[in-house]
Amino acid sequence: MQRIGVFVCHCGSNIAATVDVKKVVEIVKNEPGVVHAEDYQYMCSEAGQALIAKAIAEKNLTGIVVCSCSPRMHEATFRKAAERAGLNPYMVEIANIREHCSWIHKNIEEATEKAVILARAAIAKVNLNAPLKAGESRVTKRALVIGGGIAGIQTALDIADAGYEVDIVEKTPSIGGRMSQLDKTFPTLDCSACILTPKMVEAAAHEKITIYTYSEVEKVSGFVGDFTVDIRKKARSVDMDKCTGCGVCQEKCPSKKTPSEFNRGLGNRSAIYTPFAQAIPNVPVIDRDACLKFKTGKCGVCAKVCQAGAIDYEQKDEIVTEKYGAIVVATGFDTIKLDNYDEYAYNQSKDVITSLELERVMNAAGPTKGHLERLSDGKHPKEIVFIQCVGSRCSDDRGKPYCSKICCMYTAKHAMLIRDKYPDVNVTVFYIDVRTPGKNFDEFYRRAVEDYGVNYIKGQVGKVAPQPDGSLLVQGVDLLDNKQILKKADMVVLATAIEPDPSVRKIATMLTASIDTNNFLTESHAKLRPVESPTAGVFLSGVCQGPKDIPETVAQAGAAAVKAIGLLAKDKLLTNPCTAKPDELLCNGCSACANVCPYGAITYEVKLINDHGIREERRVAQVNNALCQGCGACTVTCPSGAMDLQGFSNRQIIAEVDAICR
Amino acid sequence: MPMNEEFKPKIVAFCCNWCSYAGADLAGSSRLAYPADVKIIRVPCSCRVNPMFILRAFEKGADGVIICGCHPGDCHYSTGNYYARRRMAMLFSMLEYIGIENGRTRVEWVSAAEGVKFSTTMNDFVAKIKSLGENVRLGDIRCKN
Amino acid sequence: MSFDKTKKQAEMIREISGVNPYKCMKCGKCSASCPSFNEMDIKPHQFVSYVLNDDIEALANSKSLWKCLSCFACIERCPRDVKPGKLIDAARQLVVRERDGDYLSADQIPEKLDPELPQQLLVSAFRRYRR
Amino acid sequence: MQELINRAKELLADGTVARVLGWKKGDMSYNPEVAYFNNAEELEGFVYNGFCAANLSKYLIEASKLEGKTLVFLKPCDSYSFNQLLKEHRIDRDKTYVIGVGCKGKITVEKIRDLGIKGIESVEIDENCENITVKTLYGDKTVAYADAMLERCHVCKGKEHVVSDEVIGESRDTVDAERFAEVERIEAMSPAEKFAFFKAELSKCIRCNACRNVCPACSCRKCVFDSTKFDSAQKANVDSFEEKMFHIIRAFHVAGRCTDCGECSRVCPQGIPLHLFNRKFIKDINKFYGEFKAGEDAETKGPLTNFTFDDVEPCDAVKGGN
């Protein structure tokens, strides 16, 4: 029989305001196995933990139940406290009477009754707990970074600088990501390429960093410290070792009608191409869907003009398999599609563009060589209207419910840059709120208004109507003036909502990392573990976790790197001892468990078994504790009950059911 | 109607540790109320839920049993919820076959970010169980003469 | 008008329209979209505050009520599912009910079809009840 | 029958097999018993007729542990159980020699009694298995063979052996009923009617374990109901739990593995239609996960240790069962 102590936490008033903690203590005292019960203001505090330690020593406790917040919050805290007091940490169970009780119920009587039942279930379980010991597993000292934008580059650099090998996998032909598409950056107006390119070069030159561009993660197996990843290197059709990056092939390529992804479709590129001049690696790829050689079999111009003989039409996709200890996701974002926003005439007029497209228009290497022009007729615009929150903060299914965070600042940047370079252009910004929390952010926005004369109007635009004369009629409202405004504009720029890059869904599935309803990756704890995924060994860098600007992305990239380094620095990891355990005497050797094991942790062995005096050779299941992650799939498929899960055994769960249904 | 005469169903909810239990935590920290009749048992994965547990609950007088796990494709253990889905489809169909109304059993996929869904699911499930009233005691299915 | 009655009217507006006015983030897209904006004394985006402040009396007596064309531009474009057009329509219904003291039955409609009756009400009513 | 005995003698004589597993005459003509035959002399007691319904495949679990090969006679439906046990690594194919025997449907004296015939002394089956002559205290009675057939034979899986080393004798198509008709009849009942129906049937159970002992899928070394793996601290509750849930849990444990051999219902001394549980699972599996015959081969993954990404949701499965 166990000697159990029950500790009921008030959590200040978080629990005590709705649960009569004294009454809980009085009732659970009489539960089987319970020899001690007490309550305290804050069990997780040092004083609270000391109470637990004291009771363990004085009452000779063999198991404890803490009635407190979620085990996801403080199970580790109480396990450590128990361990320090000489109790096996797995003799601790938590009854979640805060998140699952006091916070959601108002009636004290009801909440107290439920708290008692939850405590009883935990007591019933701990009565059947057995001490468990964590095993050890190895750590592969290599990290994988998925995504080669500024987030991925920064994370890779930081990990590599700490002395660990890092691989970057980037799906496009070059690293650089969204930041490479930007012209200037707020609030300092640095040239984006000028600050990004050195980072790209540094990453490419770093002896610890391997970059796989035009490559995608295809398969992930394993677990924290020991992931195995298949990377598909898509056929580039160009030999990376031979190519000198001279660029002649791109010049001579006769197929030049493919919309440039880098220029957001505002200009064209050749079939053999590098996305932009500073691309890393500076080795082109052949877009086989656009290439005449691949489409018709005729052409081959690039191979003829390539002096290095680097063109290889026969190249095939290649799968690289590598082992990693940690994986960082840095898949970034894209802008949402505007097909559902007919009122802004994005699909009807070339002069209605997104802000990211404006970045390309403003950029010297962009489709207009940096001149501010209407894309319809190349004319210089006189009147530009910016519309904020296009698709952001929408609770209908046309847009996204969240604030995209970066739009207020980049719009101020765009407005300021245009007014600076072209004082003859009038700039109007329709906004709902201007959100500028950040260092020097509000000052920046005010400069746009005060020093550059940008006209900010509080109110939304209802409709943009293309006119026969080529102008755009913008119908908006000035809420402060309570007036409807009709404005003729030459260009309209939409601050389009951002969303996680669509590739993240597949990657999250492969990593078994959880994702929220907006496809942002979920962090382990919203406040305290913001760069860790709940899946051990997977870290989050940049916008894949939530909207961010560049400085935040870089800061988070560094934080993700530190977490990865912290993992890689360990020689061994303690493994979860809650693994499956077969009872060899009961095992039929039927292989059902091995069939459902996602980790291949179950094998079979023919062994001499002594079954109560009957000695015979039997085929019995064996579990590899380093591979088993403790899901329990095998335990349910086993008809004889030979396979059980330590820490969540059949008897323990049945005891909980019994306690609840009592 | 006096409070104590109201039907208080016994409802057991099995929640996987990685998604649904966290979803329940989020419902809690967001103060999204649902009836106290729901009691949650934490399991590592929905595939840990043995049909024996559910039969045990019904035999002990539970009025409803709900299993919550990660969305298909998002299982922390890759495939656990797919097995759970088949097992529960089979078991629920069998329970319906022997006379446990189909509303008394449910599987819901709730992610860690879906506190709202967890709360609405539980509200909805409790309402359904209340409309069905007290369950037959599955334990009575075999009476010795 | 008693306090209770105004409260009750505001509640009725919410019930008839199915709109939660608290969802409004005051972006003004409704007023930006409204073709009758200039003829209205209470602008579409202001409707929400009137309902929130239980000031239905003012709404009922406004010109706006009868100037709304029921074009549904605000309903289509509202990013927050507030849909002021529905509030306006609900207020209109409230007024009509008050006048007749009861619901209209289908066979009563023809006799109501006189020039006095605002066309937009008919349009709106038909739109609302066509399903 | 003589052909079977002759072939068995040959295989014993040339050392191919060490023993023969078959049926011998019981104390009455209508209840042959399962038996091992170790030599030609013993084989003189071998019988094979319409009453030899017992599925011998499960005996091979123990036979696989013996020295040398065992010759076993399997009817077409028994061969499915054999394959399923092979899949589960319970029997050693190398230590068995399978002779597939022809089957024209199996009969039971219970069915003859159900026809109102009393005082049965012996039963004779005509050569073509068309009619049965029943000798009773009150004179001879003739019964159509089909009227005495087991329920399972009316919904027979087929005449082919899915596994065998050789086949002797011919089989006959005996299907004259809809396999899932009874399941569908129950599905159409109201929840209260269903509960009442199963309560009435299951209340007859005396927990003799005959169903469990005969079932080729119930081959656990130690049944979960006999171990302490699932009990909680209160032993009294456990007893009632396993007593009451026995048949439902048993059905779940064999779901996807049950070959619908019908032995459970055949041996139940209380006449409980236990196959109705198994057949419900089979019907659901076929409907939701595609036609599946347990034991059709020894490799395919069973439906409950497999999945597809777009399987039916449990709530829809329940509705589909209506």
D223 vs A contacts (CB less than 8 Å)? 640
Residues A115 and A155 in one domain: no
Residues A77 and A201 in one domain: no
Is B1 domain-assigned? no
Residues A258-317 pLDDT 10s: 999 999 999 999 999 999 999 999 999 999 999 999 999 999 999 999 999 999 999 999
Higher pLDDT, A271 or C96: A271
Is B25 domain-assigned? yes
H or E element that contains A76 = helix A71-84
- Domain span including residue B127: 11-133
Is A312 domain-assigned? no
pLDDT value at position D238?
43
A459–C23 CB contact, under 8 Å: no
Residues A222-235 pLDDT 10s: 889 999 999 999 99
Q: Does D2 touch chain B (CB under 8 A)?
A: no
- Domain span including residue A414: 334-499
Residues D284 and D228 in one domain: yes
Identity (one letter) of the amino acid at A469? D
d(CA A237, CA A288): 9
Residues A362 and A275 in one domain: no
Q: How far is D237 from chain A (nearest CA, A)?
A: 9
Is A361 domain-assigned? yes
- As for how many domains chain B has, the answer is 1
Q: Which residue of A has its CA nearest to D249?
A: A639
Q: Select from D307, D313, D314 the Cβ nearest to the Cβ of B83.
A: D307
Residue B66 scores a pLDDT above 80: yes
Q: Residue D27's Cα: distance from chain center in Å?
A: 22
pLDDT value at position B28?
95
* C-alpha pair distances (Å), A606 with each of A617, A619, B141: 6, 4, 42
Residues D143 and D220 in one domain: no
Residue C43 scores a pLDDT above 80: yes
**What's the pLDDT band for C116 if we cut at 50, 70, 90?**
low
Residues A292 and A375 in one domain: no
Residues A21 and A109 in one domain: yes
Residues A229 and A326 in one domain: yes
pLDDT value at position B2?
40
**What's the pLDDT band for A516 if we cut at 50, 70, 90?**
confident
B55 vs D contacts (CB less than 8 Å)? 241, 245, 248-249
D183 vs B contacts (CB less than 8 Å)? 97
Residues A342 and A417 in one domain: yes
C neighbour chains, 3+ CB pairs within 8 Å: A
Is B5 domain-assigned? no
pLDDT value at position C103?
56
Residues D222-280 pLDDT 10s: 888 887 777 644 444 444 556 678 899 899 999 999 999 999 999 999 999 999 999 99
Residues A109-133 pLDDT 10s: 999 999 999 999 999 999 999 999 9
pLDDT value at position C124?
66
Residues D167 and D200 in one domain: no
d(CA A131, CA A250): 67
Residues D24 and D49 in one domain: yes
Residues D132 and D49 in one domain: no
Residues A88-100: what's their mean pLDDT?
A: 96
Residues D205 and D221 in one domain: yes
Higher pLDDT, D74 or D317: D74
Residues D131 and D159 in one domain: no
Q: How far is C77 from chain A (nearest CA, A)?
A: 7
CATH number assigned to the domain comprising residue A455: 3.50.50.60
Higher pLDDT, D321 or A449: A449
pTM to 2 decimal places: 0.76
Rg (CA), chain A: 31
Residues A270 and A382 in one domain: no
Q: How far is A433 from chain C (nearest CA, A)?
A: 8
Identity (one letter) of the amino acid at A498? I
Quick check: A240 and A214 in contact, CB under 8 A? no
Is A65 domain-assigned? yes
User: If we measure between CA atoms, which residue out of D23, D24, D19 comes closest to residue D64?
Assistant: D19
User: If we measure between CA atoms, which residue out of A91, A175, A168 comes closest to residue A130?
Assistant: A91
Higher pLDDT, B141 or D208: D208
Residues D229 and D296 in one domain: yes
D neighbour chains, 3+ CB pairs within 8 Å: A, B
User: Within chain A, how many helices (H) and strands (E) appear?
Assistant: 17, 34
Q: Which residue of D has its CA nearest to A127?
A: D233
Backbone angles phi, psi at D27, to 5 degrees: -70, -20
Q: What percent of chain B has pLDDT over 90?
A: 69
C43 vs A contacts (CB less than 8 Å)? 482
Quick check: D279 and D151 in contact, CB under 8 A? no
Residue D320 scores a pLDDT above 60: no
Residues D8 and D71 in one domain: yes
Q: What is the mean pLDDT of chain D?
A: 89
Q: Select from B18, B28, B70 the Cβ nearest to the Cβ of A100.
A: B28
H or E element that contains A160 = helix A150-161
Is A653 domain-assigned? no
d(CA B96, CA B138): 12
Higher pLDDT, D1 or A259: A259
Quick check: D71 and D17 in contact, CB under 8 A? yes
Q: Which residue of A has its CA nearest to D90?
A: A590
CATH number assigned to the domain comprising residue A592: 3.30.70.3270
Residues A154-175: what's their mean pLDDT?
A: 98
d(CA A231, CA A219): 7
pLDDT value at position C126?
59
Give the E-state strand segments of B36-120 in sequence order. 38-43, 64-69, 105-109
Residues A354 and A459 in one domain: yes
A343 vs C contacts (CB less than 8 Å)? 33, 76-77
Residues B78-113 pLDDT 10s: 889 999 999 999 999 999 998 888 889 999 999 998
Residue A174 scores a pLDDT above 90: yes
Is B142 domain-assigned? no
CATH number assigned to the domain comprising residue B19: 3.40.50
Q: Token pair of A14, please?
A: 């978080």
Is A131 domain-assigned? no
Q: Which residue of A has its CA nearest to B60?
A: A661
Residues B21-38 pLDDT 10s: 999 999 999 999 999 999
Residues D202 and D304 in one domain: yes
Which single residue is written with the structure tokens 């899946």?
A535
Q: Does D223 touch chain B (CB under 8 A)?
A: no
pLDDT value at position D236?
44
Residue C117 scores a pLDDT above 70: no
Q: What percent of chain C has pLDDT over 70?
A: 73
Residues A51-72: what's their mean pLDDT?
A: 96
pLDDT value at position C120?
60
Q: What share of chain A is helix, strand, coil (3-state, %, to 5)?
A: 30, 25, 45
Residues D58 and D135 in one domain: no
ipTM passes above 0.85: no
D245–B72 CB contact, under 8 Å: no
- Domain span including residue D279: 178-322
Residues D199 and D302 in one domain: yes
Enumerate the H helices of chain C as residue ranges: 3-17, 29-33, 44-52, 56-60, 64-67, 73-77, 84-100, 109-112, 119-129
Backbone angles phi, psi at B126, to 5 degrees: -65, -40
B72 vs A contacts (CB less than 8 Å)? none
The burial of B45, by beta-carbon neighbours within 10 Å (0-12 exposed, 13-18 middle, 19 or more buried), is given as: buried
Q: What percent of chain D has pLDDT over 90?
A: 63
Residues A550 and A605 in one domain: no
CATH number assigned to the domain comprising residue A82: 3.40.50
Q: Does D88 touch chain A (CB under 8 A)?
A: yes
DSSP class of residue A102 equals I
Residue D290 scores a pLDDT above 50: yes
- As for how many domains chain A has, the answer is 5
